[in-house]
């Protein structure tokens, strides 16, 4: 995975390009950028990551869940500088759970198995009695300014998935928190909107769990650079009707 440094440079160049395109941009460009990101995060991404129908079956789309993700993303945009702590992570999860069978914002009270293979075995999440202390460690690492922003964002995403602090919707929560960290530090969110992302997303997380973190960082960096290119294309093509 020798291309990660190249992606880091590309990400920073794309970041600068996007900033220039949005600097002094008209309302149409800014609105198109916002609407596109919200659509990809709350509609396209869930369709790809949550549902894979068989050839004989139509996809089941939970529009309530999609709306909840959109609402959580709106909250993040409305609070770009708010301190991300355990309370805020629970609040994002609670928003995602609105109108579902899951009690939002409450830590699980039973053991849980993570659906990834580690050395040929399904991985057990930490014991439920350890969740609060583990969450405290996650927040501590998030605030470690000796680590670059991108790695901190990717790490909190991975750590929340491995901890499985809630009964369900842990990955959705982890992706939103990761994007909140990115937004707070002047980046755009990462969207997983390609048909191959469902499998590659799982493979990247599994690789990290199996002691190959460079593969995980490579994939996340690739998705970030890809998202940036899509945003640049959108901004370049935005026109007044």
Band the pLDDT of 229: cuts 50, 70, 90: very high
Distance CA 99, CA 65 (A): 8
Are 239 and 28 contacting, i.e. CB atoms less than 8 angstroms apart? yes
Residue 42 has pLDDT above 50, yes or no: yes
Integer CA distances (angstroms), 227 to 41, 65, 222, 231, in order: 11, 23, 9, 6
* CATH of the domain spanning 37-51+61-237: 1.10.3290.10
pLDDT tens digit sequence for 73-113: 999 999 988 999 999 999 999 999 999 999 999 999 999 99
H-type helices in 82-212, by residue range? 86-96, 131-142, 149-163, 170-184, 197-209
Residue 52 has pLDDT above 60, yes or no: no
Band the pLDDT of 238: cuts 50, 70, 90: confident
Residue 155 has pLDDT above 70, yes or no: yes
Residue 4 has pLDDT above 70, yes or no: no
Indicate the domain borders of the chain: 37-51+61-237
Residue 55 has pLDDT above 90, yes or no: no
pLDDT tens digit sequence for 115-131: 888 888 889 999 999 99
Are 217 and 154 contacting, i.e. CB atoms less than 8 angstroms apart? yes
Distance of CA 82 to the CA centre of its chain: 18
Are 238 and 32 contacting, i.e. CB atoms less than 8 angstroms apart? yes
Using a cut of 0.95, tell me whether the model's pTM lies above it.
Answer: no
Of residues 62 and 48, the one with the higher pLDDT is 48
Tokens at 229, concatenated: 């290119």
pLDDT tens digit sequence for 156-198: 999 999 999 999 999 999 999 999 999 999 999 999 999 999 9
Are 239 and 26 contacting, i.e. CB atoms less than 8 angstroms apart? no
């Amino acid at each position: 995975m020798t291309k990660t440094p190249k992606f880091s440079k590309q990400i920073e160049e794309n970041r600068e390009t996007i900033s220039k395109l949005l600097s002094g941009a008209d309302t149409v460009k800014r609105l198109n950028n916002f609407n596109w990101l919200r659509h990809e995060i709350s509609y396209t991404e869930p369709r790809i990551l949550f549902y894979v129908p068989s050839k004989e079956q139509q996809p089941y789309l939970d529009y309530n869940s999609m709306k909840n993700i959109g609402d959580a993303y709106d909250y993040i945009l409305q609070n770009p500088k708010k301190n991300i702590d355990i309370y805020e992570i629970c609040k994002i999860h609670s928003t995602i759970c609105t109108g579902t069978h899951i009690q939002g914002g409450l830590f699980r009270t039973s053991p849980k198995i993570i659906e990834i293979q580690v050395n040929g075995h399904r991985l057990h999440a930490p014991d439920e009695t350890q969740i609060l202390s583990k969450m405290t460690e996650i927040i501590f690492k998030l605030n470690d300014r000796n680590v670059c922003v991108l790695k901190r964002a990717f790490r909190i995403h991975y750590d929340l998935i491995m901890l499985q602090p809630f009964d369900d919707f842990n990955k959705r929560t982890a992706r939103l928190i990761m994007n909140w960290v990115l937004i707070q530090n002047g980046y755009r969110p990462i969207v997983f909107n390609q048909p191959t992302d469902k499998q590659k997303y799982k493979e990247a997380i599994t690789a990290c769990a199996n002691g190959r973190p460079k593969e995980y960082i490579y994939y996340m960096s690739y998705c970030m650079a890809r998202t940036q290119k899509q945003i640049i294309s959108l901004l370049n093509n935005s026109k007044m009707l």
